Chains A and B, each alone.
Chain A
Amino acid sequence: DIQMTQSPSSLSASVGDRVTITCRASQTISTYLNWYQQKPGKAPKLLIYAASSLQSGVPSRFSGSGSGTDFTLTISSLQPEDFATYYCQQSYIGRTFGQGTKVEIK
């Protein structure tokens, strides 16, 4: 099974900050990497697919990069509505999620 490891598991940031979350796969997954945002009590929402493609309707402050085993989600200027938990997911073989990164208000 492919394991996904996110870091950090949590972070504190201020509105306007640039935030970077990393995700590492236990084997190469090409660019079959997706990012989701989840707010408390809500279903996850797709942000980025295929490592760097922005899902329709998602603000352009969100971006993704990487290929192979190492990937990054960047929020260029953190907004109040961005405080949430973020998950990476591989879709190369089956489906595996990272453990999540909680972005909290500093």
Chain B
Amino acid sequence: EVQLVETGGGLIQPGGSLRLSCVASGFTVSTNYMSWVRQAPGKGLEWVSVIYSGGSTYYADSVKGRFTISRDNIENTLYLQMNSLRAEDTAVYYCARGIASSSPFDYWGQGTLVTVSS
């Protein structure tokens, strides 16, 4: 059974850093197209970042230069390192799987809440 479980969210002060983890089971992270998607409170979905099976990474303009996506092939885990956090980064962060670069997100985690506030 495919499962994605995110952890690492919490309350962090502006300017701080946080690392989110997404542990996958039932499939191999490194052979899929893995993304992070976020949703600010009461708002819609915003794609944040992707890592391709080949290792290429891409970011939304809103997080470029501050966030880094990576994966651990042994631990079968996806990460999102978030630096220089801002109030507008407050959101539920979901990891999601796509089989290929043009595929939909067929599996999602349950989400982890990041709150940036002093």
Binding site for B on A (CB under 8 A): 32, 34, 36, 38, 42-46, 49-50, 55, 87, 89, 91-92, 94-100
Contacts and interface: CB of A to CB of B under 8 A. Distances in A.
7 contacts: A34-B104, A36-B105, A49-B103, A50-B104, A55-B106, A87-B45, A97-B46
Contacts, number: 52
B116 to A, nearest CB: 21
Secondary structure at the A interface, as helix, strand, loop or mixed, is loop
A91 B102 contact: yes
Interface residues of B, number: 19
A91 B100 CA distance: 10
Given A94-B47, A95-B50, A99-B44, A89 B109 contact: no
A43 B102 CA distance: 20
A43 B94 CA distance: 8
Nearest to A85: B44
Contacts of A43: 94, 108-111
Nearest to B48: A95
Nearest to B100: A91
6 pairs of A and B residues whose beta carbons are closest in the complex: A34-B104, A43-B108, A95-B47, A49-B104, A97-B45, A100-B44
A32 to B, nearest CB: 6
A94 B105 contact: no
Nearest to A93: B102
A7 to B, nearest CB: 14
Nearest to B50: A95
B21 interface: no
A92 B102 contact: yes
Nearest to A33: B104
Given A36-B105, A89-B45, A100-B45, 11 more contacts: A32-B102, A36-B45, A43-B109, A44-B45, A44-B94, A87-B44, A89-B105, A91-B103, A94-B58, A97-B45, A100-B44
